[in-house]
Amino acid sequence: MWYLEEPSYADVNGVLTQINRKKEQMEAKHDNLSSPGMTDQHKEMAYESFLAGKYNEALQHLEALQDLNKEDYKIALNKAVVEFYKSGQTTTGTLKQSLMAMRNQVHTATEDSDGLDDVENSFLYYNQAIVHYHMRQYSEAISIGEKLYQFLEPFEEKFSQAVYFLLVDLYLLTFQPEKALHLLAVLDKLSVQGSNKNGKGENNRNGGNQKAEFSAMIEAAKSKMHQYKVRAYIQMKSSKACKREIKSVMNTAGNSTPSLFLKSNFEYLRGNYRKAVKLLNSSNIAEHPGPIKTGECMRCMFWNNLGCIHFAMGKHNLGIFYFKKALQENDHTCAQLGDGGNGQAKKFTGIPMCALLANKRYELLYNCGIQLLHIGRPLAAFECLIEAVQVYHSNPRLWLRLAECCISANKGGSEQENKGLPCKKGIVQSIVGQGYHRKIVLASQSMQNTIYSEGQSAAIPVASMEFAAICLRNALLLLPEHQQPDAKTENSSKSSSQSGSTESGSENSDACSGKGQEADKLLSAVPSSPLRKQEVENLRCSILACSAYVALALGDNLMALNHAEKLLHQTKLSGSLKFLGHLYAAEALMSLDRISDAIVHLNPENVTDVSMGTMTSEQDPGSDKGDEPVESSGKQTPLCYPSSVTSARAMMLFNLGSAYCLRSEYDKARKCLHQAASMVNTKEIPHEAILLGVYLELQNGNTQLALQIIKRNQLLPTVTQRLSPDSRKKAVQLPLSFPQVPQVQRK
């Protein structure tokens, strides 16, 4: 499944099917692992009945065996497994409780490695790991699988391979590709050693059949291993290594659905979006088994991946269309599975265990919310993201997106104002009275938030600025503490990433133990890829900028100043956020009647760059870009934001003029106003600056000129009169003409 911001591709590789087959084989073998009190006849009959699907007969034989030896827990384990299959694999919760009771019966805990010395108990733990896997409890499944990994030598190749594949899939689901590559390298060596051992036993009668069976298993494992490697290299953003493995996948699996999905993901990673769409369209998803057998809804992933591609191309309306199609397919699949399409089945009953992972509702809602936010529909995006955050509440970037929805929904302004064009409606708020008593009420630019918050608690999840403050506070708390960058660690991380992109990963001997792994330094942001160190710092800057804006909107000037100063002290701060930091700090200082400090922030020389964001980790700087040209993402800077350093400095001068007005320095204010007006186009002059010109003329006693400025909605070039000291009056506070908060990069 792909997820926006840090897309991770849906590569349909049949992992769940293979795991279930291995589980079925191991559970069947469990019937042969009997205590000495069991008769061989009952064991063989129970085993044959289980394989034939005659679960009632298998239960009868197991009950007879239990009468012979009531203390052997393995009989109870086999009965639990048979009853689970008898129910159509729908009693997952009951099976989980039974396995937990059996583990307590043998007095062994998962954390106690000594309890795994008994080889026969390992099947119990493997079954537990499978249940945790399907219930999306990945950390518990990994802890069990890593303990099993230490005791795999006495087992047959089939069981060892099943444990390896389970761990690899879990590592990929938790975005630990380095550990997955290490296990694949170990598995590759073991398969070579196993084939050599099997070749020496050809003189036996059954040696030929065993060799053929083992060879078929090795070939199937090789195809699966190549697909796993592609998934790992895609997560590592390693195009060269991924391209090499893609060829192996196409040679072993051909034009199958998994291979085409993987190749499409590879082209998506390189920016060849049209080729990625062609590969997706060429896949025959109708031939893929349904979600009841594989736990994967192919149609849902197909539409979702198309939505991600069009999102990257900047075609957001098409993207939301495909995401809605994916949601419809997901709801239809959930309805067939008995989930009702609402994704709220809490007891895990009535749905086959292998199909528990088929519901992708919250991932799709996450994608829809991000897409709707780009389209400019913040309220609809808020409804999607507020439902997704119930599951992904530990994702700080998701909390930031919720705050952005609240900001966009409450920023106000007309359509022309959003496009950067001044309008008379932005100056004149209303007209009171008629005739001689007719009065024009000029608009106040003080930010208010009364649409959603009147009479409501701030904790109620509505698109209000109060709730935005809570979301931003959550996002900051989820980020790790700020640390100074270390050159040695950065160099070591770069070298490790480069070695991982050129080698298969076998050099990382500590991968399974987790020592020195870059994945441990990443911040989890499920369902997206983890955030690297620089991405965390960029996210921190964006959260601080939004926090300052929201605090200003709520009138909390001290908190706004605190956030703005923290933002300006961040390392590697982008030019756009530095510009906003100075503006927000100046606004807070002026509200606190610290005009001199605000003038320092409003110095036009503080603006040297207004670029938005930096290159993300998913952009591959290498030259290996493929045959087709890379398409532009279609993302453009909003028109309400200064498009150049000159426009940004003009914005600073407009606000500096407001600051001088508060100090009754009208001559300096007039100079700043006309200097700023000469730097930008007439249509780019904000209406706050026009109000400032009106105020200056009223202070100078030029009432007629002030009326002409209001009627023409522009600063008149004939305004050259100076203000006399006698005409100075007490200045009222004027609002600053801050640009709307730009949407930071979501990549």
Share of the chain above pLDDT 90, in %: 37
Higher pLDDT, 643 or 599: 599
User: Is there a contact between 176 and 517 (Cβ–Cβ < 8 Å)?
Assistant: yes
pLDDT at 26 > cutoff 70: no
3-state SS class at 588: helix
Least confident of 454-468, 545-559, 653-667, 722-736: 722-736
Average pLDDT over residues 241-256: 88
Q: What is the 3-state secondary structure (H, E, C) of 48-65?
A: HHHHCCCHHHHHHHHHHH
Higher pLDDT, 641 or 146: 146
Average pLDDT over residues 578-596: 95
User: Is there a contact between 230 and 249 (Cβ–Cβ < 8 Å)?
Assistant: yes
Higher pLDDT, 129 or 619: 129
pLDDT tens-digit map of 309-342 = 999 999 999 999 999 999 999 998 888 876 544 4
DSSP state letter for 739? P
Give the per-residue pLDDT at 159.
85
Q: How far apart are CA 167 and CA 163, in angstroms?
A: 6
User: Is there a contact between 143 and 137 (Cβ–Cβ < 8 Å)?
Assistant: no
User: Is there a contact between 127 and 23 (Cβ–Cβ < 8 Å)?
Assistant: yes
Q: How far apart are CA 58 and CA 52, in angstroms?
A: 10
Q: How far apart are CA 702 and CA 254, in angstroms?
A: 82
- Token digits for 238? 């390693």
Least confident of 9-13, 333-337, 474-478, 613-617: 9-13
Burial class (CB in 10 A: 0-12, 13-18, 19+), 268: buried
- Token digits for 725? 């000291």
Helices (H), 106-206: 122-134, 138-149, 157-173, 177-199
Residue the block writes with tokens 């919250």 = 362
Give the per-residue pLDDT at 254.
81
Q: How far apart are CA 464 and CA 471, in angstroms?
A: 11
Q: How far apart are CA 197 and CA 547, in angstroms?
A: 64
- Token digits for 684? 């780019």
Give the per-residue pLDDT at 194.
63
Higher pLDDT, 722 or 570: 570
- Could you tell me the maximum CA-CA distance found in the chain, to the nearest angstrom? 117
pLDDT tens-digit map of 499-557 = 333 333 333 334 344 444 444 468 888 888 899 898 999 999 999 999 999 999 999 99
Q: How far apart are CA 724 and CA 727, in angstroms?
A: 6
Q: What are phi and psi of 428, to 5 degrees?
A: -90, 120
Q: How far apart are CA 470 and CA 463, in angstroms?
A: 11
Task: Provide the sign of the torsion angle of the four alpha carbons 366, 370, 372, 373, taken in this order.
Answer: positive
Neighbours of 495 (CB within 10 A): 10
What are the distances in angstroms from CA 708 to CA 113, 672, 691, 698?
A: 85, 21, 12, 12
Closest CA to 17 of 290, 252, 217: 290
Task: Provide the sign of the torsion angle of the four alpha carbons 670, 672, 675, 677, taken in this order.
Answer: negative
- Token digits for 503? 């080698």
> Quick one: how far is CA 199 from the chain centroid?
48
3-state SS class at 428: strand
Give the per-residue pLDDT at 613.
60
User: Is there a contact between 141 and 133 (Cβ–Cβ < 8 Å)?
Assistant: yes
Give the per-residue pLDDT at 294.
77
Q: Give the list of residues 6+ apart from residue 98 with CB closer than 8 angstroms, or none.
A: 76, 77, 80
Q: How far apart are CA 480 and CA 521, in angstroms?
A: 10
The crossing angle, in degrees rounded to 10, of helices 73-86 and 55-68 is 170
User: Is there a contact between 14 and 294 (Cβ–Cβ < 8 Å)?
Assistant: yes
Element (H, E) at 387: helix 378-388
Average pLDDT over residues 153-182: 89
The C-alpha angle 522, 528, 533, rounded to 5 degrees, equals 25
Give the confidence band of 66 by pLDDT, cuts at 50, 70, 90. Answer: confident
User: Is there a contact between 459 and 473 (Cβ–Cβ < 8 Å)?
Assistant: no
pLDDT at 10 > cutoff 50: no
Q: How far apart are CA 407 and CA 675, in angstroms?
A: 32
Give the per-residue pLDDT at 223.
84
Give the per-residue pLDDT at 64.
85
pLDDT at 731 > cutoff 90: no
Give the per-residue pLDDT at 484.
52
pLDDT tens-digit map of 401-447 = 999 999 999 985 433 344 444 445 556 777 888 887 888 777 665 44
3-state helix, strand, coil in the chain (%, to 5): 65, 0, 35
pLDDT tens-digit map of 668-717 = 999 999 899 889 888 788 888 888 888 888 888 888 888 888 888 788 76
User: Is there a contact between 738 and 587 (Cβ–Cβ < 8 Å)?
Assistant: yes
Alpha-carbon Rg for the chain in angstroms = 32
Average pLDDT over residues 290-308: 86
259 strand-pairing partners? none
Average pLDDT over residues 157-179: 91
The crossing angle, in degrees rounded to 10, of helices 361-375 and 396-410 is 40
pLDDT at 394 > cutoff 60: yes
Give the per-residue pLDDT at 469.
95
User: What is the pTM (predicted TM-score) of this model?
Assistant: 0.79
